[in-house]
Chain A
């Protein structure tokens, strides 16, 4: 309701300004010649000063922004290659801020300094090859540097050496949830195709494939610190994008093909939670949530839970109605904890056998996440209409 009031106030404000300009126009009645709507020297003066004011606005807004929102920006990458990306990012930012600062000053200062005056005449200056060569060559050289660094980093990140000692994990995307499949002791994923989806085998794994015998399917991703994780992504329905913001990692999941990304986590979840910046961020978020909770409780609704930081896998490619809630918790364990966690999981072949042994049992995997199931069902229902 308050927002509606805000809108009404804005509209009234607009009306007021329109009235003001009308009055302003009426005061200029004596100048009712044909060129009264062309800028005169008074206009040039006022607008020139406003240009200078706008320059100040851009600068102050930028400084204010960096000061107030700077802490929101992701930092301290949780992966090995993240530092490279962040370094390149910082170099680029220095460049951008320098160019931005200089060009905006020149643009708006010139607009102010050379504001028109009917007694003045502009300089007839049409060309200068030297100047133009300078500002073609300088960007070219600077960009060449950025391109070289960028390509070097890109090659290191994206080309995955198959011989490396990696942990192979499949990320499986569907509307609107993630599932992970571990390759097991042989570190090779069994073949899979959506045509083989049946019952608990929700990923369509080919159970007759020898490599598939030790595959493990889970709905919460655990990865060991300090080991390179080789993700192979699949999607069963539409495009999704596996986005791990804290690991500086992202790759689309495409139905009909397998995509890849690899990174090495360097902080366990507990270590990352304890980073001073993260402690501060979480405290800030919890203060916001506590305030919101009070409002909710006053309205008779349940309050919000306090927040603790967890790594998340988000979907970052529009994938349907509940795109905004497609997430999976990611836990980085110490290698020992990871081994222990994995050893407690039963493999898919055993799960399938168990489900066949007791056919009356409800479909375990679909009951796991009721909200997701509901969403999918709703979409299906609308579609059928």
Chain B
């Protein structure tokens, strides 16, 4: 009782303090809930920029070298003279689109938002292990976003060597104008981003290990937490390698070292570099780059697990198998990077090894997909927008994942490598799927974040148009890839061979423009509901997890009294021994109630 009183007084004091200064409450906040909202807001802004870029270059691909006033307005006279997009800015848009979507939206925006929001709330902690480090992590992310955006306004244009920034193209300003100041800013921004990501990840891991409430054993944690926890570990293992690659590249660019460069003759002269290898960079890059796609997709899968179980009113099927598959995916993800490099010139023997490990990943992925489907079986599905996005995620994850069997097989990769087939594959399996996961999370936890509900009808419109457009964009793309069309071509008009693909490109762009426009529905819903949405009740989705035991109004420290204790696993939905179709984790076991072996 005395502890409770103390906690309460402490919280009250804090809250009072925070109300006084706008800056500590809304800007330099160390409250994980506010930091989560900051991540989300920044992620949404970056997402709008990244998606808009893709619409611009999709227009160029559908109507090559046609004049659009909007190009001239957005890109200026230098990069879009008379409204015709220049080839250099096309590559820049492709590069920055990839960078922003992969790192700034789907890594920081997704993981940053939901790890911060849910880890303390779902494990029963008052805040992150280090609130201060958490704040620094967000502000470094903000800084790196600002630098990335600034790089768009550099005179020679932003980085344009593709988001994979393979040297020598990214190392030599003579090779492409974007490899001047634009690439320098890209590297600086990424270095800061990595620092931010590492601080965040360390915090998540430490918090999950140390700050679980009484009774919250590892096998009573919701799958969201398992996903965030394992994701953070992958990040800690692989991001430093990208940092080292970025640093070595900075050395090559600015201090004349030859880590990645050798025997280069460009712009009429021989450069001094000798002995380095671009293949080394590819190894270092993909040692992060491949785990990165799991850093993106695992949190989305964790969110989906939670939402599907809640809205099916059923336990997630195979809880332990889900945990095992998350761990298996995480482990395998660090030993498959070479499948991006089958034809890079590395020893073909390595290709055999990486084919083997890569195709192994299909097994835990298949287990996850089947377990989701079985969870729906004989459920009582509540079709909230979050649930629709989660089902949509399972659908695109399967469609996109299956073509991975082709790309992961070195023999088949020979002919589809770097074609639009790859673009279609990864956009479905990690781009669209992860975005669906993010949307699902926003619809589901919006009441937790803002104390208000999102409008469900706008949510339905948002989902259905997005779902149709996502398939409309990426399904036809498989065909033009199988026709042999390379990606990152500014236009195909120099190859009459590809003239019969043009109408497919027009269709893809049309779907992209419609899908892009309908994201405005989401943005409207999101921003208007913050102020005018229906007030939320404490547990709107009748969920079992701990975050719904906190009051609707945010307080520092999350629970006004003592932190609740946990007595059961999080998926007791429709348990026949109970009246209600949900049994929160805080409800003690009834006498004689059987504990399932999860």
- Chain A residues engaging chain B, CB cutoff 8 angstroms: 3-4, 6-7, 10-11, 13-14, 17-18, 21, 24-25, 32, 34-39, 43-44, 46-48, 50-51, 54, 57-58, 61-62, 65, 69-70, 72-74, 84-85, 88-89, 92, 95-96, 99-100, 103-104, 106-108, 110-111, 114-117, 120-128, 131-132, 135-136, 139-140, 143, 146-147, 150-151, 153-155, 157-159, 174-175, 193-195, 197, 204, 236-239, 241, 243, 245-246, 248-252, 254-257, 259, 281, 284-285, 288-289, 292, 304, 307, 309, 312, 314-325, 327, 376, 379-380, 382-383, 385
Contact = CB atoms under 8 A, between A and B. Distances in A.
Interface stretch (B35-43, B144-152, B372-380): B372-380
Contacts of B318: 126-128, 132
Contacts of A24: 457
B500 A116 contact: no
A25 B457 contact: yes
A104 B395 contact: yes
Contact of A320 (B175, B458, B471): B175
A327 B495 contact: yes
Interface in B492-531: 492, 494-497, 499-502, 504, 510, 513-514, 517-518, 520-521, 524
A266 to B, nearest CB: 16
A44 B277 contact: no
Contacts of A327: 494-495
Q: Which 5 A-B pairs have the closest CB atoms?
A: A256-B262, A245-B484, A47-B383, A158-B348, A37-B453
Contact of B379 (A114, A284, A317): A114
B321 interface: yes
B461 A17 contact: yes
Nearest to A36: B534
A132 B494 CA distance: 52
A25 B454 CA distance: 12
Given A88-B411, A250-B414, A323-B488, A284 B500 contact: yes
B277 A257 contact: yes
A281 B414 contact: no
Contacts of A123: 314, 377-379, 574
B227 interface: no
Contact of B513 (A6, A43, A238, A317): A6
A17 B266 contact: no
Given A114-B376, A116-B383, A151 B266 contact: no
Given A114-B376, A248-B415, 8 more contacts: A24-B457, A107-B395, A135-B366, A239-B278, A243-B486, A317-B166, A320-B175, A383-B174
A154 B345 contact: no
Nearest to B520: A14
B363 to A, nearest CB: 5
Nearest to A155: B352
Contacts of B513: 6-7, 10
A92 B344 CA distance: 24
Contact of A107 (B360, B394, B467): B394
Contacts of A21: 455, 457-458, 461
Contacts of B371: 132
B28 interface: no
Contacts of A246: 484
21 contacts: A3-B66, A4-B69, A14-B521, A34-B535, A43-B384, A58-B395, A96-B402, A110-B379, A122-B313, A125-B377, A150-B409, A157-B411, A236-B265, A255-B263, A284-B500, A307-B497, A316-B486, A321-B87, A321-B88, A324-B488, A382-B177
B48 interface: no
A150 B339 CA distance: 13
Given A136-B367, A236-B265, A284-B500, A385 B376 contact: no
A108 to B, nearest CB: 7
A379 B576 contact: no
A154 B470 CA distance: 34
A106 B373 contact: yes
Assign chain B's interface to a size class. Answer: 35 or more
Contacts of A284: 500
A128 B378 CA distance: 15
Contacts of B501: 72
Contacts of A54: 464, 467-468
A172 B180 CA distance: 26
B476 A194 contact: no
Given A316-B417, A316-B418, A122 B378 contact: yes
B70 A136 contact: no
Contacts of B494: 324-325, 327
B562 to A, nearest CB: 27
B471 A319 contact: no
Given A100-B402, A107-B395, A114-B380, A383 B418 contact: no
Contacts of A35: 537, 540
B22 interface: no
A87 to B, nearest CB: 10
A85 to B, nearest CB: 6
A380 B497 contact: no
A39 to B, nearest CB: 5
Interface in B472-501: 472, 475-476, 479-480, 482-484, 486, 488-492, 494-497, 499-501
Interface in B291-311: none
A110 B402 contact: no
B168 interface: yes
Contacts of A111: 376, 381, 383, 391
A61 B410 contact: no
A237 B398 contact: no
